[in-house]
Structure 1
Amino acid sequence: METRFLGRSGLKVSALGFGAGTFGGKGPLFGAWGNTDVTQARRMIDLCLDAGLTFFDTADVYSDGASESVLGQALRGRRDQVILSSKTGLRLGDGANDTGTSRLRLIKAVEASLQRLGTDYLDLLQLHAFDAMTPIEETLSTLDDLVRAGKLRYLGVSNFSGWQLMKSLGIADRHGWSRYVANQTYYSLVGRDYEWELMPLGLDQGVGAVVWSPLGWGRLTGRIRRGAPLPENSRLHDTADIGPPVEQERLYRIIDVLEDIAGETGKAIPQVAINWLLQRPTVATVLIGARNEEQLQQNLGAIGWSLSAEQVARLDAVSAIQTPYPYYPYWRGQFSERSPLPV
C-alpha cells in the first residue's frame, strides 16, 4: 500500500488507516457503530496488515476506553508493526477535571491510554477538540513535555477551527515546542467544508489531513437510494441526528454520479468515494472502519487504482457547494482585472 508523509513531518503513514471506533461497542452511539471483540479485531488487523495498512486510530472516549483496550489486546506481540494513534480531550468521567486539555488531564489521560493500549508510547496523539478554558500555552507545553519524555512521538488535533489551529501553531513556534502535524477532520463528498479554510491552512503550515467518516456518516455506502426507505440495519436510524447534516436531494445527486462511475470502473460506490478523497490535497490517510470482514475487504479495495481526471471532475461538480464569505470573492463578476477592488 502507498505510504505518505504525515504533514510536514518525517513520519510515513499508510494511505488508508483503520478507525477502531467499532471496537468495544459500549453506549448508544458507539454501540450503533459496532461491537467488535478482541478475536474479531485480531482477524481485522490481520487483513489490514496483509494489505499494507499499518495506521490504526482510536480514542479514549470510544466506548469509554473499551476501543483502546480491544485494540491493544489485538495488537499484542506486533506493536512495532503499526503506527498507533489515539485522541483525548472530550469528557470521560464525571469529575471536574475529566474533560479538556489541562496539564492535569493530559498527563492522566495519556497514562491511561497507554495502559489500555498496552504500550509505552503513542506514535500520534490528537486533541479531540479545542479546549477554550485552558490556556493554549499550558496545553502545548504539556504535550511538548510528553514528547520529550518519550510518551508521544507526534501531535495532532481534531475538530479545530482554522483560527484555533493557527494560533496553536504560532504559539508552538514562538516557544520552540512540538507542533501539530496532523488534523483529523471530517471530509467527504457530502461534507466538503474542510476545503474552505483548513485545507489551505494545512498546505501552508504542513498539517496533514487524517480523514474521518469518508463515507459521510454512513450515507455513501451504496445502500441509500432516492425513493427507497433507509435500510433496516443502517446505523443512521440511531445516529443521523448526531452526525453532520446533509441535504437529502444533494446526497441523491452525488449518489447518482457515484453509481455511474462505479459502473464505469467496476468498483463499489464506497470505493469510488474513498478514492476521490485520496486524490485531494493535504490528505495523508483516510480512516476506514468496518463492522465485519466483508466491509473491511470492500473498503481496502479503494486503493491501488485511480479515478480518471474526467471522473474526478464530475464528482467535484456534483458535490460542489457555495462557500460562505469570506472564502469566496464577493466582488466576483463585478470588477474587471484592471478595476480596483472594493475597500
Structure 2
Amino acid sequence: MNYRELGKTGIKVSEIGFGTWGIGGNAGGAIGYGPTDDQESKAALKKAYELGVNFYDTADLYGYGHSEELIGETFENHRKDIIIASKVGFLDFVGKQDFSSSHIKKALEASLRRLRTDYIDLYQLHSPPVTVLVNDPAILNTLTSLKQEGKIRAVGISVRAPDEGITVVNRFDVDAIQVNLNLVDQRALENGLLNTCEKERTGVIVRTPLCYGFLTGEYHADSLFSPQDQRRKWSQQQIERWANAYKLFIENLTHKEKDTNVRLALRFCLSCPGVSTVIPGMLTPEQVEENVASSRSGALGTSDFRRVVDTYRKNVFFEGFRS
C-alpha cells in the first residue's frame, strides 16, 4: 500500500481508503446498497487493515450510525493505527439537513460513542449548500472550535458537486474536501478543482471512483436492485449508459491486458493531480483485495491517461453530470 499526505494536515492516508456507506446496510430503514451481513462487513474491514488500508470514511447517516458502530467494534484496539473520517449534517435520506452548532456538537458526541473513540481525525460537513456556509460563519467556526478542543484533528467538506468545490476551496479554510470523480464523471479534473487543491495543499478524498459499482463490469442494463438500494430509483437510461461505459475505456487503452475494470477505474483516480485518497465502497474481503491491488499497479502511463480523458470528452455518460 502506498500512502499520501492529506493536504497540509500532517496526516498520512492510504491511497486506497475504505468507503463505508455500503456496510451500513439498511438499519433503521436506511438507504444504501441493499442488505448486508455484519460479519462479512467486519471481515472486509479486517482484511483492509491487514492489507495496509488506514483510511476509513463514514457518516452518521450511513445505516443511521451502524457503519460507525462497525468501525468502532472492529478497530477499538487499533485506534491509533487508523484514520477515521466521518460526516455530519444529514438527518435522513430524504434530504433534511441541520448544520447548527448545537446539532454538530450533539452529533459529534454520538459519533464518538459509536466509533468508540475520543476523537475523529477528519470531521466533514455532509454536502452543505455553499450559500448556507456563506450566510452562517458559525458553522465552520464550530468545527474550528472542536478542532481546538482536540475532538477532531482536521476539518473537511464533502461537496455536492465539483463546481461547489472550487468555491469552497477559494472561500473557506478547510483541510480537505470530498468530491465525486471517476471515469464517467471527470468534472473535478476538467474544471480545475484538483489542480487548485494541489496548489493550495487542500486534501482531496475521491468518492464514487467505481461509479456506484457500474465501472466494475458486474452490472448490466437489466440488473435488479433491492428496494432499499439507492440505484433502484435511477432511470433505465442512466443505468444502461453507466453499465456499458467501462467497455469504451478498456478498448482505448494501449496496455488493456494489464488492467481489470476495477484497477483501471481506481488507477485513473490515483493518477489525477492533488488526490490524497480514493474511497471505493467494499462489502467483502474479495472486493478489498481487488481494490487494494490498484495501489500496487501504480499510476496510469501518460498515454493511457490521455486516452481516458479523451474518451470522456467524446462521450456523454449522463446529461446531469456534465458541467
**What CA deviation, in whole Å up to 9, does each residue of 1:246-305 have, x standing for no partner?**
585586354233256497343321111111110001111000222222222211221112
Q: Which has the higher contact order (CA 8 A, sep 6+)?
A: 2
- Residue 4 to residue 150, structure 1, CA distance change in 2 (3 Å): same
**1:230 Cα deviation after fit:** 2.8
Which residue is equivalent to 2:200? 205
User: SS at 1:127's partner residue?
Assistant: strand
1:190 corresponds to 2:184: yes
**1:82 Cα deviation after fit:** 0.3
- Counting only pairs closer than 5 Å after superposition, residues 117-196 of structure 1 correspond to structure 2 as 117-131=115-129, 132-133=131-132, 135-160=135-160, 179-195=173-189, 196=191
Do 2:22 and 2:32's aligned partners in 1 also have CA atoms closer than 8 Å? yes
Letter in 2 for 1:210: I
Letter in 1 for 2:126: H
Do 1:161 and 1:198's aligned partners in 2 also have CA atoms closer than 8 Å? no
Do 2:68 and 2:114's aligned partners in 1 also have CA atoms closer than 8 Å? yes
The number of equivalent residue pairs is 311
- Residue 43 to residue 224, structure 1, CA distance change in 2 (3 Å): closer
User: SS at 1:113's partner residue?
Assistant: helix
TM-score by length of 1: 0.79
User: SS at 2:216's partner residue?
Assistant: coil
Letter in 2 for 1:239: R
Do 1:190 and 1:246's aligned partners in 2 also have CA atoms closer than 8 Å? no
**1:22 Cα deviation after fit:** 1.8
- Counting only pairs closer than 5 Å after superposition, residues 302-341 of structure 1 correspond to structure 2 as 302-306=294-298, 307-320=300-313
Letter in 1 for 2:260: A
Letter in 2 for 1:30: G
Which residue is equivalent to 1:55? 55
**1:167 Cα deviation after fit:** 5.9
Which residue is equivalent to 1:69? 69
Do 1:270 and 1:299's aligned partners in 2 also have CA atoms closer than 8 Å? yes
Do 2:254 and 2:304's aligned partners in 1 also have CA atoms closer than 8 Å? no
User: SS at 2:7's partner residue?
Assistant: coil
Do 2:157 and 2:178's aligned partners in 1 also have CA atoms closer than 8 Å? yes
User: SS at 2:144's partner residue?
Assistant: helix
| Structure 1 residues not aligned, in runs of 5+ | 173-178, 329-343
1:82 corresponds to 2:82: yes
**Aligned mates of 1:139, 1:25 — CA distance in 2:** 29
- Counting only pairs closer than 5 Å after superposition, residues 75-114 of structure 1 correspond to structure 2 as 75-92=75-92, 99-114=97-112
Larger Rg belongs to: 1
- Residue 160 to residue 233, structure 1, CA distance change in 2 (3 Å): closer
**Aligned mates of 2:79, 2:242 — CA distance in 1:** 43
**1:124 Cα deviation after fit:** 0.4
Which residue is equivalent to 1:11? 11
1:294 corresponds to 2:292: no
**Aligned mates of 2:162, 2:258 — CA distance in 1:** 38
**Aligned mates of 1:165, 1:264 — CA distance in 2:** 32
- Residue 10 to residue 29, structure 1, CA distance change in 2 (3 Å): same
**1:164 Cα deviation after fit:** 5.5
Do 1:218 and 1:235's aligned partners in 2 also have CA atoms closer than 8 Å? no
- Residue 64 to residue 298, structure 1, CA distance change in 2 (3 Å): same
Do 1:17 and 1:285's aligned partners in 2 also have CA atoms closer than 8 Å? yes
1:273 corresponds to 2:265: yes
| Structure 2 residues not aligned, in runs of 5+ | none
1:222 corresponds to 2:217: yes
- Residue 218 to residue 17, structure 1, CA distance change in 2 (3 Å): same
**Aligned mates of 2:207, 2:308 — CA distance in 1:** 19
**What CA deviation, in whole Å up to 9, does each residue of 1:202-225 have, x standing for no partner?**
234322220111011221011346
Letter in 2 for 1:130: P
User: SS at 2:103's partner residue?
Assistant: helix
**Aligned mates of 1:215, 1:20 — CA distance in 2:** 14
**What CA deviation, in whole Å up to 9, does each residue of 1:29-62 have, x standing for no partner?**
2252x5241x333322221122111001100001
Letter in 2 for 1:264: K
**Aligned mates of 1:192, 1:269 — CA distance in 2:** 17
Do 1:209 and 1:284's aligned partners in 2 also have CA atoms closer than 8 Å? yes
- Residue 92 to residue 253, structure 1, CA distance change in 2 (3 Å): closer
User: SS at 1:220's partner residue?
Assistant: helix
